[in-house]
Amino acid sequence: MKAYQLKILLKNSKPPVWRRCRIPAGITFSQLALILEHITESGACADYEYEFYQAGIQVREWRGETGQAASIHYDCLCASDTFIDGLADQEKWFTFRPGDGRQYRVEIEERREEPIRCPVVIQQKAAPQGPGWLDLETVNGELSQRYPLQWGNRTTGRLQSWRRRAKRANMGSPWPAARRTGRSGGKCPQSPRCGHSPTR
C-alpha cells in the first residue's frame, strides 16, 4: 500500500465544504495530523483527535495523564506511536477534530498502489461566501515543500522535523497571499500553546 485517497468534509456545512486529497501510507497519526491541519487550513495544534466510531477507537497525543480515553466506549491510542495503515486499511471513515472547534468526516475512498512524492489536494469545494480555501496550486506547493517523502525509510524519524517546519511556518511569517474560493479559518481555543491565528 502506497497511498490513500481521502475526502475531508467539514461537518454541518451547507452546502458541503470539502477537499479530496491523497496522503502517503506508512506515516503515524501525528504526522497525518500535520498534513490534515494544513489541508483543512486549521493551523498546527497539539489538541487534535481522531475518532473511529465503528472500531471504538480514539487517537490523540498522550501528554501526562491525558492518554486515557474520554469515554468508556472507546480505546485510546497514542498518535505518535500508531501508524495509520492498520486502521486506514480496515475502516471506511473517521472523524478528525483539529482542535479549533471544527469537526471533519474523513472518508477513505481509495487505497492506491501508486507511490506519491508528497501529500496532494486533487479537488475541493468551498463555501459560496467567505474568504475560502487557498487555491490548489498554492496549497499543493506548500505541501510539497513541507512534507516531501523519502521512500525506503520509515517516516517516524521525520516527525520532529515536520513539527519544527510547521512551527516556523505558522509562527514565523504569515501565510502567503493567494486566490481563494470560499472558507475561513480561526484560532485554536483549546490550547494556549498554539497561538496560531490563520489570518489569510
The enclosing domain of 78 has a CATH number of 3.10.290
Quick check: is 199 in a domain?
Answer: no
**CB contact at 8 A, 40 and 98:** yes
Structural domain count, the chain: 1
pLDDT in tens, 155-174: 444 555 555 555 554 444 33
Q: What amino acid occupies position 129? A: Q
What is the pLDDT at residue 70? Answer: 58
pLDDT in tens, 87-127: 999 999 999 999 899 999 999 999 999 989 999 999 999 98
In the structure grid, which three cell numbers stand for residue 88, read together?
486506514
5-14, 85-94, 171-180, range with the lowest pLDDT: 171-180
In the structure grid, which three cell numbers stand for residue 193, read together?
500553546
Predicted confidence (pLDDT) at residue 193 exceeds the cutoff of 90: no
pLDDT in tens, 23-46: 999 999 999 999 999 999 998 888
Q: What is the pTM of this model?
A: 0.74
What residues have CB less than 8 Å from 128, skipping those under 6 apart? 15, 182
Q: Which of 142, 112, 154, 155 is nearest to 23 (CA)?
A: 112
What is the pLDDT at residue 107? Answer: 99
Q: Catalogue the long-range contacts made by 83-87 (C-beta closer than 8 Å, 24 or more residues apart).
A: 83/26, 83/27, 83/28, 83/29, 84/4, 84/25, 84/27, 84/28, 84/29, 84/32, 85/1, 85/25, 85/26, 87/52, 87/55, 87/57, 87/59
Domain of residue 103, residue span: 3-172
**What whole-number distance in Å separates Cα of residue 51 and Cα of residue 118?**
25
Quick check: is 198 in a domain?
Answer: no
**CB contact at 8 A, 80 and 159:** yes
Quick check: is 131 in a domain?
Answer: yes
What is the pLDDT at residue 162? Answer: 55
Quick check: is 181 in a domain?
Answer: no
